[in-house]
Structure 1
Amino acid sequence: MVHSFYEAVRKDEQLGPVFNTFVGDWEYHLLKLTDFWSSILLGTGRFRGTPMPKHVALPNLSAHLFERWLVLFRQVTSAQPNRAMGERAYDTAQRIAESLWYGYQMSRRPETVPTELQDV
């Protein structure tokens, strides 16, 4: 799932330029992402880290990019043979995207009320 999703992200007209600009070593990044999702979905504890600071440091992120990320995530998880795990993964991704978007806005514009992502 992780490899399929991030392959779609890399090829996406909107997300590809963002990810491909800031991810220098995709092989290493995929290992970290696999550890992250394994920890989140399977409780393996393989991931150690704090994703928020890395995302907050990126310039020019928008709600639209987070929503596009979720659209692609939905497409990939819907194609998974384990439907229950696919739904769980998408629900988790939605919460993560909302949290990262909220944190991004708070770091960039702390004087304004953060906006929510649109349901996709």
Structure 2
Amino acid sequence: MKKQIDDIEDIKIFVDEFYAKVRTDQLIGPIFMEKISDWRPHLDKMYTFWNAALFGVPGFRGNPFAKHAPLKIARPHFERWLELFYATIDEYFEGAIADDAKKRAALMADMFLSRLQQLNGNSDHVIF
């Protein structure tokens, strides 16, 4: 049965399940697996990120775009990332916070893709 995202424990569920999907995905899995050898720090950072994004809990520090800028990623990678993210949220959760998480993920993907395209001389902007 689906539930609402209420707290950090729910965030841990969707982050853990999402990255389990990512690690085995044929398109984006190899990119993540090449860059992340120890998943615990990455998962902990994602718990903090989503706790800040969804509930305003302070504690996240970092520059997510800077970590992604050097990667060889393009629109299909972002589309797959979003597809896996949405599927994970929809599999476990419902309600306003779940919808907000999906909206924020789409905005983040759009912003990252736009910035990467600008860095590469392509200003083609798309909204997911």
TM-score, structure 1 as length reference? 0.88
Q: CA deviation at 1:54?
A: 1.0
The one-letter code matched in structure 2 to 1:113 is S
Q: Secondary structure at the match of 2:126?
A: coil
Q: Which residue of 1 aligns with 2:19?
A: 6
Question: Aligned to 1:89, which of 89, 97, 101?
Answer: 101
- Separation in 2 of the partners of 1:94 and 1:2? 16
- Separation in 1 of the partners of 2:39 and 2:88? 19
The one-letter code matched in structure 2 to 1:72 is L
- Separation in 2 of the partners of 1:24 and 1:57? 17
Task: Extract unaligned runs of 5+ from structure 1.
Answer: none
Q: CA deviation at 1:91?
A: 0.6
Q: CA deviation at 1:104?
A: 1.1
The one-letter code matched in structure 1 to 2:114 is Y
Retained in 1: the 8 A contact 2:17–2:88?
Answer: yes
Q: Which residue of 2 aligns with 1:50?
A: 63
- Separation in 2 of the partners of 1:115 and 1:42? 29
Task: Extract unaligned runs of 5+ from structure 2.
Answer: 1-13
Question: Aligned to 1:35, which of 38, 41, 48?
Answer: 48
Q: Which residue of 1 aligns with 2:111?
A: 99
Q: CA deviation at 1:107?
A: 1.5
Aligned sequence identity (%): 32
The one-letter code matched in structure 1 to 2:105 is A
- Separation in 2 of the partners of 1:107 and 1:50? 16
Retained in 2: the 8 A contact 1:102–1:115?
Answer: yes
User: CA RMSD, aligned part only?
Assistant: 1.3
Q: Which residue of 1 aligns with 2:5?
A: none
TM-score, structure 2 as length reference? 0.83
